[in-house]
Amino acid sequence: MTLVDHLPAALIMTPLAGAALTFVTRRRWDPALVMVTAVVITGLALALSVRVLAEGAFRYRLGGWGAPLGIDLVADGISALFVLLAAVVGLAATAYATSYFGTGDEDAYGRGLVWALWLFLWTALNALFLTGDVFNVYVCLELVGISAVALVTLGGGADALRAGARYLFASMLGAMTYLLGVALLYSATGHLDMATLGSAPTQGIAASTGLVLMVSALVLKTALVPVHFWLPTAHAAAPSPVSAVLSALVVKGSYYVILRLVLDVTYPGQLPGLDVTLGALGAASIVWGSVQALLQTRVKLLVAYSTVAQIGYLFVAIPLMRADGGIVGVAVTAAAAHAVSHGLAKAGFFLSAGSLQHRFGHDRISEMAGAARTTPVLAMACAVAGVTMMGLPPSGGFVAKWLLILTSINVGQWWWAAVMIAGGLLSAAYTFRLVAVFVAEGAGDPGDAHHPARTEWLPLLLASAAALLAFAIPQIDTLVRIGMNLGRAEVLP
Amino acid sequence: MSSHLVYALVGGLLFSIGTYGLIVRPHMIHKIISTNFMGSGVFLVLIGLGNRTPSGVPDPVPQAMVLTGIVVTVALTALSLAIAKRYFSLTGRGDISEHREERVG
Amino acid sequence: MRDRLPGSQLIPLVTGAGLFALVTRAILSLPGESAGLSVRVTETAAENGISNVVTAVLLDFRGYDTLLEIAVLMLVTVAVFSLRETTMSPTPLSERPGPVLGALTRTVIPVMLLVAGHFVWIGSSRPGGAFQAGAVIGAAGILLALSGYSRPKWVGPRAISWVLSIGLLVFVGVAVYPVLLGEELLQYPAESRKALILVIEALLTLSIGASLVSLFIASASPRVQGDRE
């Protein structure tokens, strides 16, 4: 076996080893070490995508055993795409974080422990995106949840602690429910491997109950309305690079598992009403999240509610994926493209919100007038990120939403399209509201302290990447279809 | 054959009680105890249902799942207790109900 | 602290009751006999010389789960450390123990350590293993802390960090070693399987025990000025 064959394992072991080493050594060169690790992981992620594009999907049998006895890692198009998203956002957020966490007193950020937590989170995300075993998913979800909570509470104040505590309890509720679902599923089928579960019949009351519990738990963890209550405060109270990773990547983790369950483990019609329920809740999230975002007076809360809204699109895609009894490839591509473009845009948005907060000393929108004059790069980043999230052409977000709208009309479920268009209008409203304040006459920020250039350019880079993603949609489509069992093939218009 | 069923059903009961407690009780210590109820409930379900093997020797896979689950639950309990303790030392309060903070949608 | 109004307890009550009904229905619907993966596990484990099938599943077939689980434990230790208000000082939690408590600890602690070692050694054939042994060591450490013994001065924070991480680091090392031989991750070579598993378990025991003690002490120490508000 060559090194390339071991990519899935390397993607998980590298950040894990890095986390353990960072904890043990805890020296001045920690940020540099983490940066190097980030670059290495990004390279590995790129290599994995290239390998999957060239040679197709493959399974990595841990311990040499192979399912159903052992645990397999699965590297197909969707997992490679999500790992790549995590790598790009992670790399940018790490570069930003080395400036954010490095300033001021080390004591304020967990005495240098932040980097260990940071790398643990990355390990957890990669492990989650690559695993093929439903119980292993539970362990990965816990790993993700704990590192996310720990990073949220790093701020140290009572607000961060309270937000972190509510996040933790919601996370635990989800994890226990998920585990109960796995218990029922295994007791009914005798299998834990996703592919085996997909090909063996998973019928029966116990199996269906188990699956419903699992999906419900994942819905809680992805903050779908009405169980979204923990997300806005958690994402807003966290340090900005953490918020970026939370909104861009962590919520996508539990969504990824839902995708796996929907596409690989269950068959259409197995759980009647599930698809429609998820779609309806997604629609509610789009509307409720956008309306709440419009009402916020603080930037970070606005961005956090925007996440709730944009997640809704991902769930509206689910009934579209399994319309007509097969798997509609375009809908999956659209959902994946939306996840990626939102990830990039939201990361950029949160990083620029963080930089603005640093410069102004607060994050009250009404008092940020004139920011476009004093910090044009940051204002531009917010605007570009907003463009992709509201779905203006030409941007990655536009293509994704356009594909979803087209699909919903094609399969005859046009009502989703109506909601998505309404959502787009609402997103436009809150984005314009923000940009209008920036552009207005005002003093701008005090502009006293020195801020590293990368805190300005990184957000813009991310937001632009989200916009330029539009040109990469065909490649994304090709990648996503690798390893998918398509009942009905669709060609991109 | 029904002795394992009793374990599993009691496990389901504990899980439900824990869920109720976790949602309703505002004090963090109550919530932590509730999560332990939930965890114990799931473990009982796993062990109870794993005892249905025809050979009489219990299925080792659920046992391994429970062992892993116990370690994860202990770790989570430790973290939540640490957060609760820190929060209490900062604010003097132990409940994180919604009435106390900004009304967020 | 008043309880919530009756109305707002209705939804959780319905949720709890509904869950119970759903789960009971699911459980009762299952067949009375089902082998699951146990047959395959037992057969394969017997070929490998590990007669405790649970250990075989934990460390061999599903060793990756165990690896991630150790990562969880270490992660929580790091997280709890980051929540501490001050660095861990070797001040004891209580006064030096009196004659009775001192005699008790002097007798019980060595026995506990012996029991832990026994669990690790016997884990491949009888019930036992790293987690059980680690729990016993953790209990021993907490007993020492509660009895008023403090960390010796020569055990510094760096040493503690090493002890906490050694289990995970060695596990990762043993996991990666087969890759250098051209096999998959965690694919122990057949001849050294038992020995490798024993090494992993021994060091895991150390780390697990140290983590449990650290989690206790990190949360239990008296508060020095901590307000960061």
A65 in contact with chain B, both atoms CB, cutoff 8 A: no
The domains of chain C are located at: 50-220
Q: Supply the pLDDT for residue B8.
A: 93
The answer to whether the Cβ–Cβ distance between C25 and A205 falls below 8 Å is: yes
B103 assigned to some structural domain? no
Q: Please, what is the average pLDDT of chain B?
A: 88
B33 assigned to some structural domain? yes
Query: For residue C216, what is the nearest residue in chain B, using CA coordinates?
Result: B78
What does the pLDDT average to over B20-46? 95
Residue A174: pLDDT band by 50, 70, 90 thresholds?
Answer: very high
Query: For residue A181, what is the nearest residue in chain C, using CA coordinates?
Result: C23
Range in A386-400, C79-93, C198-212 with the lowest mean pLDDT: C79-93
The more confidently predicted of residues A333 and C227 is A333
Angle between helices A30-55 and A114-130 (to 10 degrees): 10
pLDDT at C77 over 90: yes
What does the pLDDT average to over C186-199? 86
The answer to whether the Cβ–Cβ distance between B78 and C80 falls below 8 Å is: yes
Q: Supply the pLDDT for residue A325.
A: 66
pLDDT at C176 over 80: yes
Residue that has been written with the tokens 């925007």 in this structure: A306
CA distance B98 to A169: 14
Q: Supply the pLDDT for residue C1.
A: 37
Residue B105: pLDDT band by 50, 70, 90 thresholds?
Answer: very low
Indicate the residue of A139, A168, A183 with minimum beta-carbon distance to B80: A168
Residue A104: pLDDT band by 50, 70, 90 thresholds?
Answer: very low
For residue A226, whether the previous peptide bond is cis, meaning omega lies within 30 degrees of 0, is yes
pLDDT at A289 over 80: yes
Residue A315: pLDDT band by 50, 70, 90 thresholds?
Answer: very high
Tens-place pLDDT, residues A377-418: 888 888 888 888 888 887 888 888 988 998 888 888 888 899
Contact present, A351 and A96 (Cβ < 8 Å): yes
The answer to whether the Cβ–Cβ distance between B65 and A182 falls below 8 Å is: yes
Q: Interface partners of B (3+ CB pairs, < 8 Å)?
A: A, C
Write the DSSP symbol of residue C223: P
Range in A86-90, A162-166, B52-56, B86-90 with the lowest mean pLDDT: B52-56
Q: The domain containing residue B59 runs over which residues?
A: 3-98
Task: Report the CATH number that the domain containing residue B12 is assigned in CATH.
Answer: 1.10.287.3510
Indicate the residue of A62, A69, A120 with minimum beta-carbon distance to C185: A62
Q: Supply the pLDDT for residue C2.
A: 43
The answer to whether the Cβ–Cβ distance between A187 and C34 falls below 8 Å is: yes
How many domains in chain B? 1
What does the pLDDT average to over C4-14? 75
Query: For residue B81, what is the nearest residue in chain C, using CA coordinates?
Result: C219
Q: Which of C14, C57, C225 to mutate to test the interface with B (most CBs of B within 10 A)?
A: C57
Query: For residue A164, what is the nearest residue in chain B, using CA coordinates?
Result: B83
Indicate the residue of B19, B83, B105 with minimum beta-carbon distance to A168: B83
What does the pLDDT average to over B66-85? 94
pLDDT at A234 over 90: yes
Range in A105-114, A137-146, B27-36, C20-29 with the lowest mean pLDDT: A105-114
The answer to whether the Cβ–Cβ distance between B64 and C4 falls below 8 Å is: no
Tens-place pLDDT, residues A40-68: 999 999 999 999 988 888 889 888 888 78
Residue C146: pLDDT band by 50, 70, 90 thresholds?
Answer: confident
Which residues in chain A touch residue C16, judged by CB atoms under 8 angstroms apart? none
pTM for the whole structure: 0.93
